[in-house]
Amino acid sequence: MKQLLLLTALLTIGWTSAQEIRFENAMIDFGTITKGSDGNRIFKFTNTGTVALEIQKVSSSCGCTIPKKPQAPIAPGETGEIQVRYDTNRMGPFRKTITVNSNAVGTPVVALKIKGTVE
């Protein structure tokens, strides 16, 4: 019985002490934009866990998309931003993926998307 109580306590502690990440939107649609226009967009997220969230790495599917991650950990209940800049001097439709790696429990890797057309 003591072993069962100890196991339950350990599982409860592990379950409640977690980092969680929740993005407002996983897709940003630029729509149709003109060549050379503002290619900066922001993905906002919240740490819905009980422990500080660390964004360890943010990468894009090509060199035309430059992501920037927050440097400091995000405290529980606080919000953060992943900044993304697309090179709007490239003409035509685009669809890119930004991969976010964090210490979040359950979803340590999140794929964000941007899309649009440059005329």
Going by C-beta distance under 8 Å and a sequence separation of 6 or more, which residues neighbour residue 63? none
pLDDT at residue 1 in the model:
58
Which tokens hold the place of 41?
A: 């967009």
One pLDDT digit (tens) per residue for the chain, 119 residues = 555 544 444 444 444 458 899 999 999 999 999 999 999 999 999 999 999 999 999 999 899 999 999 999 999 999 999 999 999 999 999 999 999 999 999 899 999 999 999 99
Q: 74 near 47, Cβ under 8 Å? A: yes
pLDDT at residue 18 in the model:
84
Q: 114 near 65, Cβ under 8 Å? A: yes
pLDDT at residue 82 in the model:
98
List, in order of start, the domains of the chain with CATH numbers. Answer: 14-118 (2.60.40.10)
Tell me how long the chain is. Answer: 119
